[in-house]
Amino acid sequence: MDIILYILIFCIGTVFGSFFTLAVSRIPIGENITHGRSHCVNCNHKLQFFDLIPILSYIFLGGKCRYCKQKIRPRYLILEILSGLVFVLFALSIKFSMFNLTIDNMTYLIFGFLYIATLFIIAGIDKEKIRIEKSVLLFGYILVSIYMIYLYIVDEDPNIYRYVIYLFVVIILMVINTIYLRKKIKDNYTIDILLLAIMMAIFTYEIQYVLTAILTLLSIAFTLVLLKIKNRTIKTVKVKKKKKISLPIGFYMCVSNIIVLIITNAIAFYA
């Protein structure tokens, strides 16, 4: 019975993965992500239902557009599979089963999926644009706020002072960003990273965020080492001005937080 359940969860995850690619490409340019129909990025032809089935459409079409025959980037397929696997791993980490269905378990599963989806979109946009999309971050805060209210109502986490402190810090950061920094800088990446960090700490708690920060730093350090090795292997006759490296810190944070969330859940639920 649980096998069927997890196959369904994997399919739901792949559908979300298909949506992530659309959201990451449309949100930064202000396009509608709910009403506008999907289209081929090469020929702009409107895609039909059979062109949009996660994983299967890519396989049956041979990785090419049905209309212009241009090759479709494999990242779409990879993201759909990865998203499905992450959803399954999250459900497994909380021992979700047909035999232990409770309101609390279902609620955490749904909010967990939506939280992970938010991180996926933030990470995707940040990786492409080196920017934390404020509309997605706002959705994340609305999501965790609703979950906080739910926990307070059911008395699972009655420490309301913790949330009040976080809310106070968020308001201060938003005021600083709006009144002072916006006059000098159009988008302040540092403030947005801090807001993202607070959102993660609220949903996954402080210990998990500390682990997220450590994993993020290790990931960035590893990436910088790889870049340094790569640059040493590339020798050019003329040495040009050194290019400044811009790392998508939000991307590393989101990926790290998803990994930490799944691992710590597994430790807590299977201990």
Q: Mean pLDDT across the chain, nearest whole number?
A: 83
Supply the pLDDT for residue 62: 78
Instruction: Give the span between the Cα atoms of 51 and 56, in whole angstroms.
Output: 9
In this structure, the answer to whether residues 136 and 216 fall within a common structural domain is yes
In this structure, the answer to whether residues 138 and 223 fall within a common structural domain is yes
In this structure, the answer to whether residues 80 and 107 fall within a common structural domain is no
Supply the pLDDT for residue 239: 46
Does the pTM exceed 0.75?
A: yes
Supply the pLDDT for residue 98: 85
Supply the pLDDT for residue 102: 86
Residue 52 lies in a domain: yes
Cβ contacts of 224 within 8 Å, gap of 6 or more? 245, 247
Residue 238 lies in a domain: no
In this structure, the answer to whether residues 15 and 132 fall within a common structural domain is no
Inform me whether the pLDDT recorded for 215 exceeds 90.
Answer: yes
Supply the pLDDT for residue 49: 60
Inform me whether the pLDDT recorded for 78 exceeds 50.
Answer: yes
Structure tokens at 248: 């998508």
Supply the pLDDT for residue 181: 55
Residue 237 lies in a domain: no
Per-residue pLDDT, averaged over 73-92, amounts to 90
In this structure, the answer to whether residues 18 and 89 fall within a common structural domain is yes
In this structure, the answer to whether residues 73 and 153 fall within a common structural domain is no
pLDDT-derived band of residue 244, with 50, 70 and 90 as boundaries? low
Query: Tens of pLDDT along 109-126?
Result: 999 999 999 999 999 999
In this structure, the answer to whether residues 134 and 83 fall within a common structural domain is no
The domain boundary, picked from 93, 128, 145, lies at 93
Supply the pLDDT for residue 91: 96
Q: Which domain holds residue 164?
A: 103-232+246-271
CA angle 51, 56, 58 (to 5 degrees): 60
Residue 85 lies in a domain: yes
Residue 241 lies in a domain: no
CB atoms closer than 10 angstroms to residue 215: 18
In this structure, the answer to whether residues 154 and 226 fall within a common structural domain is yes
Query: Tens of pLDDT along 161-208?
Result: 777 787 788 878 777 766 655 555 556 888 889 989 999 998 988 899
The domain boundary, picked from 60, 93, 126, lies at 93
Supply the pLDDT for residue 238: 46
Query: Tens of pLDDT along 22-43?
Result: 888 778 877 776 666 676 666 6
In this structure, the answer to whether residues 142 and 266 fall within a common structural domain is yes
In this structure, the answer to whether residues 166 and 64 fall within a common structural domain is no
Query: Tens of pLDDT along 225-243?
Result: 988 887 776 655 444 455 5
Q: For the chain, report the end-to-end CA distance as a whole number of angstroms.
A: 24
The domain boundary, picked from 50, 67, 93, lies at 93
In this structure, the answer to whether residues 157 and 258 fall within a common structural domain is yes
In this structure, the answer to whether residues 9 and 74 fall within a common structural domain is yes
Single-letter code of the amino acid located at 37: R
* Percent of the chain with pLDDT strictly greater than 70: 81
Residue 129 lies in a domain: yes
Can you name the residues that pair with 256 across neighbouring β-strands? Answer: none
- The total number of structural domains that make up the chain: 2
